[in-house]
Amino acid sequence: MSRSLSSLNSGLIWAGAGISASAIVVGTWIAPLGWQQGLLAIVLGHLLGGILFFAAGFIGAKTGKNAMQTVQISFGKGSVFFSLANVLQLIGWTAIMIYTGAEISNALSLALWDLSAFSLWACVLGVLIILWLFSGSNQVGKLKLFTLIAMFVLTLWLSLKVLNGQNQIAASGNMPFSTAVELATIMPLSWLPLVSDYTSKAKKPLAATLSASIGYLITSAWMYALGLGMVLFTGQSEIAPMLLLTGMSLVGIIVMILSTVTTTFLDAYSAGVSASNISTKLKETPTAIAVTLIGTVLALSLPVTQYENFLLLIGSVFAPMIAVQIADFFVLRRTESQQNMDWLAFGLWFIGFMLYHGLSYSNVHLPLGLTIPVMLVIFVTTVIVRKVTK
């Protein structure tokens, strides 16, 4: 695999991934905590998730392996299971992103031109994502750079408008702080099965992984805070009315299209990479295009408006997985892929999966949410069990 990704490009790619409508939406859910507590939860959750994001990305950068190939280091043939789970979550994310982008664009076009065209917007987004796939996964050309700069400037303008609003909604306090931390942690966590697909191509492993982590965490936390501020300072819980309120109707459509395409492109591309780990007959680009088409169809046929449970499911699957990987790579110094199924690693993952759901269904609220405590348990258990059974 060629090492062609510069640290600058790595940071730009992931900064663009962090600017998304879905992150703004999740940020609005945290409004019951109020501004100070909500912002603290967002920052804390992203810092915790960011450490995991960096760890996952660095494994790929150091070994030159893509995300699912790094999973083979710990799980061997069990990586096929996680590849399938990753493809399914990425289809889900593709549908969510296209639906959200099309819904907001449709609301704006309806207000601007009395044009209701949700299906048209969804199809436009699907086509643009496919075109983006053909432009390459690890380079930031002039068009992509212009897109990223435009997104940054327009989002900054929207943020200033939001912060100049008057506080209209007081904190209700009906959301546990730990739940908000969990929601903030899971967004970077959802990228763990993808990040090495990009950092594995880095010229400078450490620098590229750091720039990717910093770029993503800053913009993702920013989007969360923007969603939080929208509710608290303007009384708006929907993105489209907020854009209309700030006079960013037409510009808002452009921002939604650009942010949806740049983020969903990463989902579709990595779905293709994961699929190739399931079978060598599944090629990256054709599979990525298929995932985009499936996501578009799902967006057209399903109302993808609430996805909190989807986020929590992602956490339950991939948090224990990366805990085993971190223990194996950073503590036990495993770097080579295994050819056989590692049932011990899979058993440790399953314990983590069940522990996560057991705590969740018991309505337990730990100070830092469920993800980090479950990961710590599996991390320590993996180190002990591996050394005992060596």
pLDDT, one tens digit per residue, over 155-185 is 888 888 888 876 666 666 688 999 999 999 9
Contact 112, 373 (CB under 8 A): no
Residue 230 CA to residue 232 CA, distance in Å, equals 6
Mean pLDDT of 199-209: 94
Residue 136: what pLDDT? 63
Residue 271: what pLDDT? 93
Residue 195 CA to residue 177 CA, distance in Å, equals 28
Residue 211 CA to residue 338 CA, distance in Å, equals 30
Residue 172: what pLDDT? 61
At 202 the three-state DSSP class reads strand
Mean pLDDT of 200-208: 94
Mean pLDDT of 192-221: 95
Residue 356 CA to residue 370 CA, distance in Å, equals 7
Residue 137: what pLDDT? 52
Phi, psi for 334 (deg, rounded to 5): -85, 130
User: Does 1 have pLDDT greater than 60?
Assistant: no
Residue 166: what pLDDT? 67
Residue 367: what pLDDT? 83
| Residue 364 structure tokens | 């337990």
At 5 the three-state DSSP class reads strand
Among 163-167, 363-367, 368-372, the range scoring the smallest mean pLDDT is 163-167
Percentage above 90 pLDDT, the chain: 56
> Please, which pLDDT band fits residue 305 given cuts at 50, 70 and 90?
low
Residue 37: what pLDDT? 94
For the chain, the average pLDDT equals 89
> Please, which pLDDT band fits residue 49 given cuts at 50, 70 and 90?
very high
Residues 6 or more apart whose Cβ sits within 8 Å of residue 360: 312, 316, 370
Contact 261, 129 (CB under 8 A): yes
Residues 6 or more apart whose Cβ sits within 8 Å of residue 112: 249, 250
Residue 139: what pLDDT? 54
371: buried, middle or exposed (CB in 10 Å: 19+, 13-18, 0-12)?
buried
The angle formed by the CA atoms of residues 100, 156 and 188, to the nearest 5 degrees, is 55
pLDDT tens profile 109-150: 888 898 899 999 999 999 999 998 887 655 556 666 777 788
**CB atoms closer than 10 angstroms to residue 110:** 14
Residue 260: what pLDDT? 85
Side chain identity at 262, as an amino acid letter? T
How many Cα atoms are found within 13 Å in the side-chain-facing hemisphere of 87? 22
Q: Cα–Cα distances in Å, from 160 out to 28, 164, 230, 252, 378?
A: 17, 6, 11, 15, 42
Residue 58: what pLDDT? 97
**CB atoms closer than 10 angstroms to residue 334:** 15
Residue 112: what pLDDT? 85
The angle formed by the CA atoms of residues 293, 127 and 305, to the nearest 5 degrees, is 60
Q: Is the dihedral of CA 107, 112, 116, 122 positive or negative?
A: negative
Residue 132: what pLDDT? 87
- Report which listed range, 130-144, 188-202, 226-240, is most confident: 188-202
| CATH of range 7-307; options 3.30.1950.10, 1.20.1070.10, 1.10.10.10, 1.10.4160.10 | 1.10.4160.10
Residue 169: what pLDDT? 65
Domain ranges of the chain: 7-307
Phi, psi for 168 (deg, rounded to 5): -105, -20
> Please, which pLDDT band fits residue 368 given cuts at 50, 70 and 90?
confident
Residue 191 CA to residue 74 CA, distance in Å, equals 19
pLDDT tens profile 263-297: 898 899 999 999 988 988 899 899 999 999 999 99
What sections of the chain are H helices per DSSP? 7-18, 21-29, 35-63, 67-75, 79-113, 118-133, 142-163, 177-189, 192-199, 205-229, 239-245, 249-278, 284-301, 308-326, 343-361, 371-388
Residue 277: what pLDDT? 87
Residue 7: what pLDDT? 93
User: Does 311 have pLDDT greater than 90?
Assistant: no
Mean pLDDT of 229-254: 79
